[in-house]
Amino acid sequence: MADQSEHSHELEEDLKEANGESPTVTLHGVVEKIITPLVPSRRQKVQIFLHGADDLFSQIRIENAFENGGGKKVKLQPGTEVDVTIVAREVVKKTSSEAPALG
Whether the model pTM is above 0.85: no
E strand spans, the chain: 12-14, 24-35, 45-50, 59-63, 66-67, 73-74, 81-87
33-49: average pLDDT: 95
Give pairs for 34-37: CB < 8 Å, separation 24+. 34/64, 34/76, 34/77, 34/78, 35/61
CA 65 to the chain's CA centroid: 15
- pLDDT tens digits, one per residue of 74-101: 999 999 999 999 998 877 777 766 666 6
Cβ–Cβ < 8 Å for 72, 99: no
- pLDDT tens digits, one per residue of 44-74: 999 999 999 999 999 999 999 999 999 999 9
26-50: average pLDDT: 96
59-63 vs 45-50, strand pairing mode? antiparallel
